[in-house]
Amino acid sequence: MKFETGRWDDLQCHFQMNPDPSDENPARFRIARFQTALLRWYDDNRRDLPWRKTRDPYRIWVSEIMLQQTRVAAVLGHYRLFLKRFPNVRALAAASENSVLAAWSGLGYYRRARMMRECAQHIVAEHRCRFPRSSKSFRPYPESAATPPPPSPASLSPNQLQFWTATSNEYCSA
């Protein structure tokens, strides 16, 4: 099934109004059909965003923090510039608060940038520049830098075991 308009409303309305009467458990059937259609809709309509092309937990984490209460369009330019200035967690941790705030300028909610820098300092000092594997490990970090507590960058990254088993400090290297 293809929705010509690519609109979420069309997809949602279709499944609310068209249950399969032959199924013994119509709710389960509707959920399965909806999941399949939603994934197909996503494949057809997803946006090409840079944080979807990486397995680096630092880059995913930066995108998650930037996207909190901020439009994707506003984040796109800032994301690239921020990563150019602070390419890894060590660079962010070593940066002055003023330079982080300057790079954050235009995204608003500057507390997020301050807390993200503090969290980066904690990751460098306590975890040798490696991101924790679970959201529980984020609990001691500043609240806004670790939100949303679940999931952690590990669970947001594709093929997470590939980079979590790495023995180098690749996310800290200069």
Report whether 61 contacts 153 (CB < 8 A).
Answer: yes
* Total Cβ atoms within 10 A of residue 113: 24
Q: Distance (Å, rounded) from C-alpha 132 to C-alpha 71?
A: 27
Answer whether 103's CB lies under 8 Å from 86's CB: yes
Task: Considering the candidates 4, 24, 64, 143, report the single residue annotated as catalytic.
Answer: 64
Cα–Cα–Cα angle for 39, 41, 46, nearest 5°? 95
Angle between helices 57-67 and 110-127 (to 10 degrees): 160
Distant-in-sequence, close-in-space partners of 44: CB < 8 Å, separation ≥ 6: 2, 6
Given a contact cutoff of 8 angstroms between Cβ atoms, the answer to whether 150 and 156 are in contact is no
User: Does 143 qualify as catalytic in the annotation?
Assistant: no
Catalytic residues: 64
